Structure 1
């Protein structure tokens, strides 16, 4: 059958829209929760480098520092029904050795997705980066209960609390680096996105030192999004590097 011409174009457009809709039909619980993600992408069920995992059995090595050259910027916030996404203005860079990644945004998970040996965390922040060649780097910051986070104090009053709601306050500017710990030591491993399509080949950098958010700040995020953490995945003999200070 010839799929060229108006009819073919309409068919292709409909097929693509249906595919996109199917890939978007997932959640963290219920019938379309993590156990069903394999029906959206086989990688979610059969991949060998899936995330999150437990940080244990690590190998101590000297690694490049994470150079976070982030700008102060307003952020576009969107409640996408699974998390609140904070889209960052172009121009902020993460440098790891001779590789440079641009920060595209960050988002939150409650509870935290990764675990450090037996220790779990009530929240985790993921900073999404992409290099010019498409390579992904994700920096994870583990959150523990403690003092109020001042950067969060700036953003929390403006969070989009309703599904599909967006929020942007040009007068509220932050530096994403303010959500990160002072210590630069981290764990390093190769993994995946922690949501469909669970794309593998993601460079993960997990800061070893957690940051503090108040009990109330964590509760606000959890109250809006609920629990949005993917269950732990098999390590499959992957190497986890423990970056020594350099």
Structure 2
């Protein structure tokens, strides 16, 4: 997997100022340190990203790009081990996504011998990845990094249904004013079963950096219509369209979620 420096990436925003090197990458949705204007709309939208900055050429010419359409049927392979615990989260809205940063780990993912710690959580409405061509109401990304700055993203689909008390503190904090914070247990946020897709892709916003490991949960979490609306109202339709799969392999695997982060 290509090495992606976490310190070289900054918080996503439509007119994002440069962030300190200590700031975590914003996402799969991460802007470069440039103040170049971009958006999800026609003016500066996805079709124009590569033309807005020479550093963003991968948004057009890259091959292993994200998001993608995920098939129900895929070959079996290695899953991830997710060790969870309590974490303090703090509001860090990027201007294009409702986001919280993790003040301590709260989640550590072990994948292919590497250990990735939680940096931040943010949301997209509607979901960016599709499953057999169908998009869920929302998609939530838990962005992790290893000691070399390489990124792994746990992606959760959200469907409308009953209210989630577990996700409410995250939604409240992510959509609040500056300085809002809360304490949540990451185990409470993840699906009860852990059938996942894994594949190598990219950030889903400029600079569309490649070499990102994705672990996408099949079982969606359930949010109330009001909870989904709160995310959408904060940043309406902040989703990149699906990208060609090319010759990449998508793997289906059982990933393990359990307590384990101190």
**TM exceeding 0.5:** yes
**The one of 8, 33, 42 aligned to 1:20:** 33
Q: Which residue in 2 is equivalent to 1:128?
A: 143
Please tell me the root mean square deviation across aligned C-alpha atoms, in Å.
Answer: 2.2
- Shift of residue 151, structure 1, vs aligned partner: 1.9
CA distance in 1, matches of 2:255, 2:98: 33
| Structure whose CA Rg is larger | 1
Q: 1:89 to 1:149 in 2, by over 3 A?
A: same
**The one of 39, 42, 46 aligned to 1:34:** 46
CA distance in 2, matches of 1:238, 1:193: 16
The yes-or-no answer on 1:77 pairing with 2:91 is yes
The yes-or-no answer on 1:218 pairing with 2:232 is no
Q: Which residue in 1 is equivalent to 2:3?
A: none
Q: 1:157 to 1:107 in 2, by over 3 A?
A: closer
The count of aligned residue pairs is: 223
| 4+ residue segments displaced more than 4 Å | none
- Unaligned 5+ segments in structure 1 are 1-15
Where 1:35 maps in the other structure, the secondary structure is helix
- Shift of residue 157, structure 1, vs aligned partner: 4.0
- In the superposition, the TM-score normalised over structure 2's length comes to 0.78
Where 1:27 maps in the other structure, the secondary structure is coil
Q: Does the aligned pair in 1 maintain the 2:93–2:100 contact within 8 Å?
A: no
Q: Which residue in 1 is equivalent to 2:212?
A: 202
- Shift of residue 199, structure 1, vs aligned partner: 0.4
**The one of 140, 148, 151 aligned to 2:163:** 148
CA distance in 1, matches of 2:66, 2:172: 31
Q: 1:20 to 1:118 in 2, by over 3 A?
A: closer
CA distance in 1, matches of 2:68, 2:212: 13
Give CA-to-partner distance per residue, 1:123-145, whole Å, 9 cap, x none.
00011011112221111001111
Q: 1:241 to 1:227 in 2, by over 3 A?
A: same
- In the superposition, the TM-score normalised over structure 1's length comes to 0.83
The yes-or-no answer on 1:86 pairing with 2:100 is yes
